[in-house]
Structure 1
Amino acid sequence: MSEPVTLYVCTTCRDAADPADGPRAGARLHDALAAALAARPGAPVRIAPVECLSVCKRACTVAVASPGRWTYVYGDLDPATSAEIILEGIGRYAGTPDGLVPWRERPQEFRKGVVARIPPAPGLS
């Protein structure tokens, strides 16, 4: 693999149970992913927090992108339990030349939570 996969994490996603003054579910998911990634030295993943992915009805939401590969947006992720599952799915994505992971090889959360699949940008493959 040439470049690391970028995992965009919406840090403004809010869970219905989030207190008004506490960290939002998206920020908690970002923190959990950063901790899980730190335990995987050399993993080909870069985490980038973003303020909004505009998928508010499907919180928590992440997007996975890499030059020359399809981009995926996933929602309905649990900030308390999804970090390892997300990194497992991203590892499978990183192992493909085009980002297309066979349906049966995707984690269940990715199969059920896919929001969008976007083709590689022209001229970047």
Structure 2
Amino acid sequence: MSGNDKAEVTLFVCTSCRRTLDETETLFDHPGEAIHAAMEARLADEPAIRVEAVDCLAVCKRPATVALSGDGFWTYLVGDLTAEANLDEIEAATRAYLASGNGIIPWRERPVSFRKGVVARMPPLPGRARPAAATPNSTIRNKEAAAS
């Protein structure tokens, strides 16, 4: 965490995932390599976001895979991503993740690939959870909880 207590998050991109390019499963590529390079360039303007290549996120059946993680944040593991179709969505989700303050992006605000491709969402380590940023949904839930 930086001195101003602004959250810092990391987008991990699996660069070892292999995507099969033919029926014989003899031709393949590594889609995470292109995603990693593109996200480094696209997110370079936001110092609170790091982009890291990872050798393996162990979701080999759903290439390419990324993880969003931060101290006190929920962690998302998302698969079935490609540089050809999902760069805008990965960038948008990463920026929304940082802005959330705790890693929970409201369902309706998630890009489609982050609704359909979620492999797992893991809670922060005990005692490390950050309070949620105010969203319309969280405000409604908080009012409902206070009324009960």
Scaled by the length of structure 2, the TM-score of the pair is 0.74
Flag structure 2 segments of 5+ consecutive residues without an equivalent: 130-148
Q: Deviations over 1:22-70 (max 9, x none)?
A: 86211121112122223xx135310011000000001000000011110
Alignment of 1:31-110 (within 5 A): 31-38=37-44, 41-42=45-46, 44-110=48-114
Out of 77-86 and 110-119, give the one that drifted further: 77-86
- Which structure's CA Rg is the greater one? 2
Correspondent of 2:120 among 116, 121, 124: 116
Displaced runs of 4+ in structure 1, greater than 3 A? 18-23
Pairing 1:24–2:38 present: no
Q: In 1, distance between residues paired with 2:39 and 2:85? A: 10
Distance 1:23 1:76, change over 3 A: closer
Quote the RMSD (CA, aligned, Å): 2.2
- Bigger CA drift: 19-28 or 29-38? 19-28
Structure 1 position 14 matched with structure 2 position 18: yes
Q: What is the SS of the residue equivalent to 2:84?
A: coil
Gap change, CA 1:6 and 1:20, over 3 Å in 2: farther
Letter in 1 for 2:14: C
Identity %: 44
Give SS of 1:64's match.
strand
> More relative contact order in 1 or in 2 (CA 8 Å, sep 6+)?
1
Q: 1:31 to 1:20 in 2, by over 3 A?
A: farther
SS of the aligned residue for 1:58 comes to coil
User: Contact conserved, 1:69 with 1:120, CA < 8 A, in 2?
Assistant: yes
Residues in 1 aligned to 2:14 and 2:37: alpha-carbon distance in whole angstroms: 11
